[in-house]
């Protein structure tokens, strides 16, 4: 810890979550800054993968410059990647962070960071399971005694859900809706079990023209993608050992990421697994807050590379 305090005084340490929708930076005692993963209208990532290195560097550079100690000393950066990242994708993240002005970098898996940032007791000898539903990736991990025991990810997330909403609007209602409108609708559609869900017609319209939306069509369009997302947790659940399963039943499944805030998502997973599902207190920030909390241990274990 003394070593951490000494070295972090000289090199400010920060955490960065380079997400498909948002780049989030955690710094200092509780600082957090988020910017869209867009540069000059270009998406920097798709499905959790950097597709435009220059755009990522252009987004990160000013963020890293802001946190320089005395305006000159570059920060060390812990960055998060999906758990199924390829070595090439891993290297791209490393290179982009270093090129953006980091002194050193350490890469950690997103679901582990989400679990720590979401307040799960990752050091417990009893396993817990987390599912992070992001913009482009749904990532699941089982964690016990501070270690990730199993991870499973699929490149599906809110982006597919939004695309499905846009398609359904055009196909069934002859309406063109943009990304923002699709996102607004996504926050209103209940993807829970139809048996339990509030019937779409009973949802009070927020705007007078909203009753033109045929909510059941949207639900139908979202269904294959919701199943794909839930399938990530179900696939993990099927492959874990029974002893771990008992511990997870005890601790429940935890959700994080923007997709976890969709109406009915938690209850839907509960129905599919018959395990209690909870959403962490800060679903959007859990990954970057957790990565930031890992900084002292990374320094103690000398996990930094250039
Ligand atoms: N309240 C909400 N209800 C439904 N969806 C939401 C809500 N808030 C955010 N979202 C969705 O979550 C998405 C962003 O999620 P998140 O910030 O976890 O993604 P990300 O970390 O950038 O992506 P990834 O981890 O997949 O690379 C938004 O694009 C939006 O569609
Ligand atoms: Mg994310």
Q: What is the DSSP string of 120-156?
A: --TTSSS-EEEEEE-SS-EEEEEEETTEEEEEEEES-
CA dihedral 151, 143, 232, 168 (to 10 degrees): -110
Half-sphere exposure of 293 (CA within 13 A, CB side): 18
Residue 305 has what DSSP assignment? B
pLDDT of residue 217: 86
Q: What is the position in ligand 1's atom list of the atom closest to the CA of 138?
A: 26
* Residue 130 φ then ψ, to 5°: -130, 145
pLDDT of residue 197: 46
**Residue nearest to ligand 1 atom 25, measured at CA:** 134
- Of 245, 228, 257, the closest CA to residue 129 belongs to 245
Q: 3-class DSSP state for residue 287?
A: helix
* Residues 116 and 55: beta-carbon distance below 8 Å: no
pLDDT of residue 138: 98
How many angstroms is it from 7 CA to the middle of ligand 1? 34
In sequence order, the 6+-apart residues with CB closer than 8 A to the CB of 37 are 18, 19, 20, 21, 22, 23, 43, 44, 45, 56, 59
Q: Which residues of the chain have pLDDT under 70?
A: 1-11, 69-72, 194-214
Taking the domain 2-113+286-300, which CATH number applies?
3.30.420.40
Are β-strands 49-50 and 31-36 bridged in parallel, bridged antiparallel, or unpaired?
Answer: unpaired
Q: In DSSP terms, which residues pair with 107 in a beta bridge? A: 79
Residue 235 CB coordination number (10 Å): 12
Q: Is 221 exposed, middle or buried (0-12, 13-18, 19+ CB in 10 A)?
A: buried
- Of 106, 128, 103, 105, the closest CA to residue 118 belongs to 128
Q: Which residues have C-beta atoms less than 6 Å from ligand 1?
A: 19-22, 48, 134-137, 157-158, 183, 186-187, 257-259, 261-262, 284
* Segments of the chain assigned to CATH 3.30.420.40: 2-113+286-300, 120-279
Taking the domain 120-279, which CATH number applies?
3.30.420.40
Query: To test the ligand 1 pocket, which listed residue (21, 44, 83, 138) has its Cβ within 8 A of the most ligand atoms?
Result: 21
pLDDT of residue 265: 96
Distance between CA 293 and CA 15 in Å, rounded? 9
Residue 225 CB coordination number (10 Å): 22
pTM of the full structure: 0.91
Residue 216 is inside which H or E element, if any? helix 215-239
């Amino acid at each position: 810890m003394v070593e951490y305090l000494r070295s972090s005084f000289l090199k400010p340490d920060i955490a960065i979550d380079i997400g498909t929708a948002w780049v989030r930076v955690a710094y200092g005692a509780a600082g957090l800054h988020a910017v869209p993963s867009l540069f000059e209208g270009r998406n920097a990532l798709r499905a959790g993968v950097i597709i435009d290195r220059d755009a990522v560097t252009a987004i990160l550079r000013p963020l890293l410059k802001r946190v320089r100690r005395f305006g000159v000393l570059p920060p060390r950066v812990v960055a998060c990647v999906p758990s199924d990242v390829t070595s090439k994708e891993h290297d791209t993240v490393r290179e982009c962070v270093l090129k953006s002005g980091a002194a050193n970098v350490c890469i950690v898996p997103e679901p582990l960071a989400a679990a720590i940032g979401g307040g799960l007791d990752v050091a417990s000898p009893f396993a817990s399971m987390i599912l992070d539903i992001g913009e482009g990736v749904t990532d699941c991990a089982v964690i016990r005694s501070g270690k990730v025991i199993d991870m499973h990810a699929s490149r599906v997330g809110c982006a597919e859900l939004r695309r499905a909403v846009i398609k359904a609007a055009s196909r069934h209602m002859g309406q063109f809706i943009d990304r923002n409108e699709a996102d607004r609708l996504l926050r209103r559609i209940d993807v829970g079990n139809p048996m339990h869900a509030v019937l779409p017609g009973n949802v009070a319209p927020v705007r007078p023209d909203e009753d033109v939306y045929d909510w059941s069509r949207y639900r139908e369009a979202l269904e294959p993608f919701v199943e794909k997302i839930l399938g990530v947790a179900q696939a993990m659940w099927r492959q874990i050992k029974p002893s771990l399963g008992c511990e997870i039943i005890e601790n429940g499944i935890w959700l994080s990421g923007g997709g976890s805030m969709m109406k009915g998502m938690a209850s839907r997973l509960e129905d599919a697994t018959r395990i209690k599902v909870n959403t962490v207190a800060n679903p959007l920030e859990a990954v970057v807050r957790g990565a930031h909390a890992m900084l002292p241990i990374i320094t103690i274990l000398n996990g930094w590379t250039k």
